[in-house]
Amino acid sequence: MPGELANKLKELMEKSEEEWRDLGQALRKYCVNNFNMKKFVDEHECLYQNIVRK
């Protein structure tokens, strides 16, 4: 599993500026369409807590 995470991080770090911009736009659109502000904050708080616990 750590190798999988490392591979994903490597893929992210190798993205071009255009790919990062496209990813950012896609993530923003997803968040705007699927979360109100409270839900967005709650979901990210949960995500970060899960990451810290691992």
Provide the whole-model pTM.
0.52
Distance CA 20, CA 36 (A): 24
Local confidence band at 39 (pLDDT 50, 70, 90 cut-offs):
confident
Distance CA 15, CA 21 (A): 10
Residue among 42, 43, 4, 44 at smallest CA distance from 12 = 4
Local confidence band at 21 (pLDDT 50, 70, 90 cut-offs):
very high
- Parse the chain into domains and list their residue ranges: 2-53
Contact at 8 Å (CB) between 15 and 23? yes
Distance CA 15, CA 27 (A): 15
